[in-house]
């Protein structure tokens, strides 16, 4: 209240030029609040309250109080910004464009589709259509004198002395969002170089007329990624089709084997019946024989007949045996081929899983791998009650590294940090890239005190590592939040405490660890 009264009295004492300057200052503050709007829901609430006070008061509000609230909200917003969907980010930026009336309805519909996009692939499909529509609008626009033509950026920000500054800020925001969007892609190894080249191009100075071309290249890269996924799907379908065909052949071979077995059984049965019949006839004729010569003749005839049946039986048995051996050889060959193809598929699936659970930039396990490991460790902690701790590490002033040395330097810094941290943890620990410049570590069998010691060890290792970019030393440090799982904790509540501890570490000067 004292600060507000002072502001009011100071405002009353002002006159003429000073009052105009105060109005300009209020206008600048109001514009800045709109510039930051949309980063974070909590930050938006703080900004809206400040906007109301700036609009509805003749004097300035309590700026010291608002500065403290804004600082905390901005810090939290900066930590949460990567969580926004790429479609929402770009749709919000492009939705500000003022386009000719005939295409405004179609443009708004595209922005709605972009905002609703579930992933970067769907977002880029929408953005490709937006780029085409935007190009058509620019081509169909009436020609104007070069000195008065506002262009794409002029259409967005209007004309005037501040146009160049505002357009530069817009292009920088688009550049940042495109890099953030490309950073969320997980290309196969053979496309990683192409993605890095595209990121390097976008990281350089980006002109307004380059945006459609860049979007087209990003879309082509996405199409390549999708094409590879589609080819892998078709290969899998082909393999499954071949597997089904081979299983059908095996089933047919087994049925044929059963048929051969049945045929052999029937052949033996017929032989037995023939021998039995010949034996009965021989007995009958022997009883009826009147002399030895006729008996001998009868016996000889029956023996010859039995021998003939035996030979026929052996021939049939030999044929069936050879047929069965051939069928079994074919069956074993098919089974071996199936085993080889199954092993190939198993290796391919394992490799695809490794890529799906690995961060392409750092080589660390990614957020999906973290969620999977967390479920295992959380269930083990609930069952056995052994201590479990979590660390969240965040690179200090990472945006400054990107802005000062370029995104290549930022990428190199992340790779070095990932390597150093991986070498410093135990085999039973888990380390993964959570997102952006955040790295998460799970420490089984570790209480808060030991976890803080481990965090300090990791922090010092990063601080002492030698990082050079283009023969220039760049100092990199990390801040860390530590938390041990407590009775009644969920994975979310423990993570939130560690995140709060990280915020405290940032607030208290960075390059430090805090436990909560």
Catalytic positions, written as ranges: 437
Q: Residue 354, Cα to own-chain centre: how many angstroms?
A: 12
* Strand-pair partners of 440: 392, 432
How far apart (Å, rounded) are the C-alpha atoms in residues 462 and 420? 7
Exposure string of 51-77, with b = 16+ CB inside 10 Å and e = fewer, is: eebbeeeebbbbeeebeeebeebeebb
For residues 441 and 495, the answer to whether their CB atoms sit within 8 Å is: no
Q: Would the CA dihedral through 503, 504, 507, 513 be positive or negative?
A: negative
> For residue 80, what are the contacts with CB-CB under 8 A and spacing of at least 6?
40
Question: Strand, helix or coil at 442?
Answer: strand
Q: Is 211 exposed, middle or buried (0-12, 13-18, 19+ CB in 10 A)?
A: buried
Max Cα-Cα span within the chain: 159
Q: Count the Cβ atoms, other than its own, within 10 Å of residue 503.
A: 20
Question: Strand, helix or coil at 349?
Answer: helix
> For residue 465, what are the contacts with CB-CB under 8 A and spacing of at least 6?
416, 417, 420, 476
Q: How far is CA 47 from CA 44, 69, 77, 504, in A?
A: 5, 10, 12, 22
């Amino acid at each position: 209240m004292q600060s507000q009264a002072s502001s009011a009295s100071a405002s009353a004492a002002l006159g003429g030029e000073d009052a105009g300057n105060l109005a300009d200052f209020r206008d600048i503050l109001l514009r800045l609040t709109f510039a930051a709007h949309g980063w974070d829901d909590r930050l938006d609430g703080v900004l809206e309250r400040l906007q109301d006070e700036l609009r509805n008061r003749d004097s300035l509000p309590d700026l010291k109080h608002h500065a403290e609230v804004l600082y905390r909200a901005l810090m939290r917003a900066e930590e949460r910004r990567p969580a926004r969907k790429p479609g929402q980010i770009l749709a919000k930026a492009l939705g500000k464009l003022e386009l000719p009336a005939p295409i405004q309805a179609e443009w708004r519909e595209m922005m709605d589709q972009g905002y609703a996009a579930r992933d970067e692939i769907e977002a880029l499909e929408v953005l490709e259509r937006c780029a085409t529509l935007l190009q058509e609008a620019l081509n169909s626009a009436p020609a104007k004198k070069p000195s008065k033509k506002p262009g794409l950026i002029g259409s967005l920000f209007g004309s005037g002395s501040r146009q160049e500054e505002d357009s530069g800020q817009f292009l920088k925001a688009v550049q940042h969002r495109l890099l953030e969007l490309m950073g969320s892609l997980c290309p196969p190894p053979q496309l990683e170089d192409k993605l890095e080249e595209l990121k390097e191009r976008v990281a350089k100075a980006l002109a307004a007329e380059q945006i459609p071309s860049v979007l087209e290249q990003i879309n082509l890269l996405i199409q390549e990624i999708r094409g590879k996924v589609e080819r892998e799907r078709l290969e899998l379908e082909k393999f499954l089709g071949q597997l089904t065909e081979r299983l059908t052949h095996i089933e047919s071979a087994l049925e044929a084997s059963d048929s051969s077995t049945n045929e052999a059984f029937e052949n033996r049965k017929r032989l037995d019946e023939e021998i039995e019949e010949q034996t009965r006839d021989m007995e009958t004729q022997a009883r009826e024989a009147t002399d030895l010569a006729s008996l001998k003749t009868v016996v000889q005839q029956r023996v010859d007949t039995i021998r003939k049946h035996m030979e026929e039986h052996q021939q049939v048995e030999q044929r069936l045996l050879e047929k069965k051996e051939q069928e079994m050889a074919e069956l074993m060959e098919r089974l071996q081929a199936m085993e080889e193809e199954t092993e190939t598929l198993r290796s391919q699936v394992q490799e695809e899983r490794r890529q799906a659970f690995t961060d392409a930039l750092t080589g660390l396990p990614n957020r999906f791998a973290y969620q999977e490991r967390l479920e295992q460790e959380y269930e083990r902690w609930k069952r056995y009650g052994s201590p479990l701790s979590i660390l969240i590490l965040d690179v200090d002033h990472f945006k400054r590294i990107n802005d000062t040395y370029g995104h290549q330097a930022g990428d190199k810094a992340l790779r070095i940090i990932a390597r150093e941290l991986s070498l410093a943890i135990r085999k039973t620990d888990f380390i993964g890239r959570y997102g952006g410049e955040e790295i998460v570590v799970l420490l089984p069998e570790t209480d808060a005190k030991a976890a803080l010691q481990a965090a300090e060890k990791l922090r010092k290792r990063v601080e002492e590592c030698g990082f050079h970019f283009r023969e220039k030393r760049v100092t990199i440090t990390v801040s860390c939040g530590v938390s041990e799982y407590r009775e009644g904790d969920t994975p979310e509540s423990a993570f939130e405490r560690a995140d709060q501890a990280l915020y405290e570490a940032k607030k208290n000067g960075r390059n430090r660890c805090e436990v909560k």
